[in-house]
């Protein structure tokens, strides 16, 4: 059995294109393509999968990648069967992300971590879930005392933290070492499957540290500012905060 293809999104969030060889193609409702290397993020942790293009240099043929997902350890690219004949195993392809969309997702994801960091540090509230699209997202907290006034001050504090130009670091830690970090427990890494021997972490230095599989900008200055666009009670304890980026899409 060959090992999984190289998955650049986890080590270099800024890799937006690469050259790859097709390993496997499967026809169905989507045409599924596995490559020996890719820059696509397969989705997860509230961050949607990337979109983009595959290009075959030998004849200039292109395919739109409408989604991606993880299957059996591989990142699988989903093509529209209406795009015609799929690429073939052995083809060399150029792999290109829709970079404006991905960058907006990276900025949004990092903004949500800054929000989590502030809400945890200043109010001790745990995150229970979250979701995002490019430029906007929401987080759910166990946050009984949340109020409109509080949400206004949280917005100001998050913006001050983003403006503090904090570096964002990616690490991969052995499971035992990760479990020894008290702050990681709040992100429920204990829910991770037993078999996982390494934990990937995202740290907004000085503000937030979480177990996370997503893609992030490398400094909070790249996020710009956020706006709180709404908040709701999902019960006595569970509260939801919605945010958007002040500049949803920057020039990629």
Residue 161 binding Zn ion, by CB under 5 A: no
Name which of 203 and 212 has its Cβ closer to Zn ion: 212
Binding string, residues 17-56; x marks residues near Zn ion by CB under 5 A: ----------------------------x-----------
Strand, helix or coil for residue 242: strand
Piece of 92-100, 141-149, 193-201, 207-215 that binds Zn ion (CB under 5 A): 207-215
E-assigned strand segments in the chain: 6-7, 17-26, 31-35, 37-38, 52-56, 61-71, 74-79, 92-97, 126-133, 136-142, 168-174, 198-204, 208-211, 226-233, 238-245
Name which of 5 and 134 has its Cβ closer to Zn ion: 134
Binding string, residues 117-156; x marks residues near Zn ion by CB under 5 A: ----------------------------------------
Piece of 11-19, 152-160, 214-222, 229-237 that binds Zn ion (CB under 5 A): 214-222
- CA-based angle 139:127:10, to the nearest 5? 80
Alpha carbon 172 to its chain centroid, in Å, reads 16
Name which of 48 and 214 has its Cβ closer to Zn ion: 214
Which helix (DSSP H) or strand (DSSP E) does residue 151 occupy? helix 148-163
Least Cβ distance, residue 152 to Zn ion (angstroms)? 24
- Beta carbons within 8 Å of 109's beta carbon, 6+ residues apart: 46, 47, 132, 137, 214, 215, 216
Residue 214 binding Zn ion, by CB under 5 A: yes
Piece of 1-9, 17-25, 131-139, 212-220 that binds Zn ion (CB under 5 A): 212-220
Q: What is the C-alpha to C-alpha distance for residues 135 and 244, in angstroms, rounded to an integer?
A: 6
Residue 203 binding Zn ion, by CB under 5 A: no
Least Cβ distance, residue 219 to Zn ion (angstroms)? 17
Name which of 31 and 110 has its Cβ closer to Zn ion: 110
Query: Contact with Zn ion (CB under 5 A): which of 33, 212, 243, 245?
Result: 212
Nearest residue to 19 via CA among 49, 54, 51, 52: 54
- Residue 67, number of CB atoms within 10 A of its CB: 17
Binding site for Zn ion (CB under 5 A): 45, 212, 214
């Amino acid at each position: 059995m060959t090992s999984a293809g190289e998955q650049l999104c986890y080590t270099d969030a800024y890799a937006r294109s690469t050259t790859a060889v097709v390993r496997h193609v499967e026809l169905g409702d989507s045409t599924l393509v596995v490559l020996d290397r890719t820059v696509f993020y397969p989705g997860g942790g509230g961050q949607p999968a990337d979109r983009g293009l595959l290009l075959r240099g030998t004849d200039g043929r292109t395919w739109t990648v409408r989604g991606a997902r993880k299957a059996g350890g591989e990142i699988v690219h989903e093509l529209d069967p209406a795009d015609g004949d799929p690429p073939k195993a052995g083809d060399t392809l150029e792999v290109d992300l829709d970079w404006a969309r991905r960058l907006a997702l990276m900025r949004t994801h990092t903004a949500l971590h800054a929000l989590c960091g502030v809400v945890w540090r200043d109010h001790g509230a745990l995150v229970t879930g979250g979701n995002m699209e490019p430029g906007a997202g929401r987080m759910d907290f166990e946050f009984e005392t949340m109020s409109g006034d509080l949400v206004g001050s949280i917005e100001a504090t998050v913006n001050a933290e983003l403006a503090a130009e904090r570096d964002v670091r990616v690490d991969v830690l052995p499971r035992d070492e990760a479990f020894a970090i008290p702050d990681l427990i709040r992100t429920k890494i204990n829910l991770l499957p037993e078999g996982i021997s390494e934990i990937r972490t995202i740290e907004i230095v000085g503000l937030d540290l979480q177990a996370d599989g997503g893609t992030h900008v490398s400094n909070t200055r790249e996020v710009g500012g956020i706006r709180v666009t709404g908040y709701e009670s999902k019960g006595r304890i569970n509260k939801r905060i919605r945010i958007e980026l002040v500049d949803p899409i920057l020039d990629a």
